[in-house]
Structure 1
């Protein structure tokens, strides 16, 4: 299948990181500031795609800065935790906690982990800063909102904090530092693999994907649960699946042909929003 879009390549390096971005400060500058300012870092990952949503470059920065890190596997209600633990070796990601913001599960354990680290740090005379980082759409904002509670209000940026970082009160002694979702400066794999990864974890949402047909083609090969969800047999052939689903949903264009783009975006949307099992 021919890929109908192009990518711009980006090289690792601080000089490149200084380039401007329309919506946020370039990575890793903003992340560097959060890591520098924070005493504890929470990295929010998608429980369905733990490895894919990890930000290895950030983790290395945290490790080199000798800061404490807590891994939060968010959207646990969309994942089969037993299968996740069988598939991925989690011992290297301790401490971690599975969280479902929707069901309010795991929040108490996360609060406990934060308080344990705060106690171990033994910081006196100032508040402890807890930075929260992660890809867009990993549920970072939802996690912060649940942690803060409904009564807590988000505060505007204050002097001493980089623009783009919000300082939020968790307790009288603990502040949460919230940042926009960031994408790593450089990742391994081909441009196509990186693009599919971003679509899989929701960085590239279904409505923004440039070539949903190509993405669905890769997902269908990896996840037979897609066929099961729609109750359509396609032998992992995305063209067959799209054809049958399009007719089933009456997604037609002029001449009675299947609206391939609309059908592919529906599949991608159902996958990203957790309607289709991703384990």
Structure 2
């Protein structure tokens, strides 16, 4: 199944140019990824943007994956020499540690300033990541107040602006950035399934069929980490022996008077709301 899911609206291209400009003034980069797809939500240019700055890796939406999946990812990231911070920004879990990590990363910058006879200043941090991975929710939690509009759809933040978190930290809220071209079809589908890319870029039916195929594959290969029990009890239809599109057709007949578009939308919405359970769509590559 070819995806041809591509989404790069003008405001994102413009935001990326502005972000590159502002990065010169930033000390610490907070890179936010989606816990369900931490590899697909890694922007290939992040390392280039971070350069020699401090970086804090934030894996958000922790509430949407199982503890067993989190443990696997923690081990994998550790083997890559990374220290991920897990958050559920919607409910404020893990946010304090992010604030502390940003401050710690900035402390080195202020130590260098002192050596050069300059006064310390607040750490300047930027939050980057794909659209809709929870950056705005994280910023609002860091600030303890709602200053940034956040919504459950990709591409709400359009402007770059600085907000002061405390005496120690200033934060740049940047719109979601995505690669101008997504090379990997699998990743494009995962971004669409998780709603981390604009809806105009994909066909709900193809994406929902892909979700079913992915779930049946993960249940078969994840050694018990991914379970489809909730999906089965919710729709009273077992997807195991069918292809994704056949499953959608059968489910449409059973529940939605044959309306496959409505069926596809419902399935995607249920997955995104966590009604099918805590399901990671990626597990660490076998090392």
TM-score normalized by structure 2? 0.75
User: Aligned equivalents of 2:209 and 2:147: distance in 1?
Assistant: 43
What residue in structure 2 maps to residue 261 of structure 1?
261
What residue in structure 2 maps to residue 75 of structure 1?
61
User: Aligned equivalents of 2:136 and 2:7: distance in 1?
Assistant: 29
CA 127–115 in structure 1, closer or farther in 2 if over 3 Å, else same: closer
Higher relative contact order (CA 8 A, sep 6+): 2
Deviations 1:164-190 (A, max 9, x none): 31100111231000011111134432x
What residue in structure 1 maps to residue 186 of structure 2?
193
User: Aligned equivalents of 1:9 and 1:272: distance in 2?
Assistant: 20
1:1-279 equivalences in 2 (<5 Å): 21-26=9-14, 28-62=16-50, 65-86=51-72, 89-91=76-78, 92=80, 94-122=82-110, 123=113, 124-150=119-145, 153=147, 164-189=159-184, 192-204=185-197, 208=200, 210-224=202-216, 225=228, 227-228=231-232, 229-234=234-239, 235-249=241-255, 251-252=256-257, 258-276=258-276, 277-279=278-280
TM-score normalized by structure 1? 0.77
Deviations 1:69-108 (A, max 9, x none): 1011111011113223325711236332100123321112
Gaps of 5+ in 1: 11-20, 155-162, 253-257
CA RMSD after TM alignment? 2.9
CA 208–272 in structure 1, closer or farther in 2 if over 3 Å, else same: farther
Deviations 1:85-143 (A, max 9, x none): 32571123633210012332111211221221122222534332100001111011101
SS in 1 for 2:40: helix
User: Aligned equivalents of 1:132 and 1:28: distance in 2?
Assistant: 13
Offset of residue 195 of structure 1: 3.3
SS in 1 for 2:31: strand
Offset of residue 199 of structure 1: 0.2
Gaps of 5+ in 2: 114-118, 149-157, 217-227, 281-287
Q: Is the 8 Å Cα contact of residues 28 and 185 (structure 1) preserved in structure 2? A: no
Q: Is the 8 Å Cα contact of residues 104 and 146 (structure 1) preserved in structure 2? A: yes
> Aligned pair count?
248
User: Aligned equivalents of 1:80 and 1:259: distance in 2?
Assistant: 32
CA 31–81 in structure 1, closer or farther in 2 if over 3 Å, else same: farther
User: Aligned equivalents of 1:31 and 1:93: distance in 2?
Assistant: 27
SS in 2 for 1:185: coil
SS in 2 for 1:37: coil
